[in-house]
Amino acid sequence: LDIYLDNAATSRRKPETVYAAVDAFMRNVGASPARSVHGYGIEASRIVESAREEVSGLLGVSDSSRLVLTSGCTESLNIAILGMLKHGDHVIVSGLEHNSVMRPLTALAHRRSVGTTRLPVTSAGTTDPTCVETSILPTTAMIISTHASNVTGAIQPIAEIGGIARTHDIPFLLDAAQTVGHVPVDLGSLPVDMCAFSGHKGLMGPQGTGALYIRKGIYPAPLMYGGTGSASTEETQPPVLPDMYESGTPNTPGIAGLLAAAKFLRKTTIAAIHAHLESIGVAFIAGLKEIGEVTLYGPGTMLLNSGVFSFTVANRDPGELAEKLERKHGIMTRVGLHCAPSAHKSIGTFPAGTVRASIGYYTTKNDVEVFLRALKEVVRA
């Protein structure tokens, strides 16, 4: 028996069509997209542009050229942060950010004297939007928030935060790594200027895929410069999207898989996936609350949770609990700080961290029952 509860890191099982698409691309196409005009090259380009269209469609992006395909959410966040912030700028971030936000900001603090205000987190595990308003300085050049915490699953009031950003004409960068594919996200109506996400988590595509949505009128400097297959007479980077941010031969096998995943999600619908996660999550939360020794962090309700459950047990080492869950019961969780020390500082679990169990589309009710029984046994042993 093997129960995978680490979907917040990456979704392990993928739709069958995703495996088939990666294999078919490598065997039957295998050429470089956007460069070569022979048959295989044209097919590779068609796959990349279809993936861009399909993923845009899932997120309410009407102009798919605004969706830059990347190697993952980390690259997307780096383009947005390193590409936008200038010497002496000020940034407001939630107290729940992943290191893929905090580390670029720390690097910029040294390199460009960028200052950061880190907002407090309420007892419900969210950002209070009024704190955003009161933290704005004349030099504030960006507001950044995760859509849902990768430590607690807590969904943030992003419409309110984005609304404040828009009122003050400050770009709002959303890290939607934990919500895209799990929670409906409509970039056509949300006040979001840039949105970074992975292709390999809730979207169920292969690892090494991701995207950055950039609203019209916003032009971060590229992270990388090079061949794009377009404007080849010029030795300067083409100033058009998405080419400007897509230098070099892309991960086309991964993008072929991402296309299959996006088609699967369109057919299944994110609303249906969300409903499935909600029904599983309700049982998860109720079960965890029943075990008296367990402290559950973040929102104790699925109305505000993307499918991530972090907990500790008094006087027990999280690593020891996770190890027993796996060795004795075949249950895979993640333990420690989840690449988000800032979030753990905010919720009071730094530096020991928590045990994190995260669900996905393929998690079943039975998985939850087995997990809860196993946890009871481990806790009471």
45 versus 100: smaller Cβ distance to ligand PLP: 100
CB of 181 to ligand PLP, least distance (A): 12
CB of 132 to ligand PLP, least distance (A): 18
CB of 212 to ligand PLP, least distance (A): 11
59 versus 73: smaller Cβ distance to ligand PLP: 73
Q: What is the 3-state secondary structure (H, E, C) of 155-192?
A: ECCHHHHHHHHHHCCCCEEEECCCCCCCCCCCCCCCCC
177 versus 302: smaller Cβ distance to ligand PLP: 177
148 versus 256: smaller Cβ distance to ligand PLP: 148
CB of 46 to ligand PLP, least distance (A): 25
54 versus 175: smaller Cβ distance to ligand PLP: 175
CB of 177 to ligand PLP, least distance (A): 3
Residues that bind ligand PLP (CB under 6 A): 9, 72-74, 98, 100, 146, 150, 175, 177-178, 198, 210, 339
CB of 138 to ligand PLP, least distance (A): 29
75 versus 229: smaller Cβ distance to ligand PLP: 75
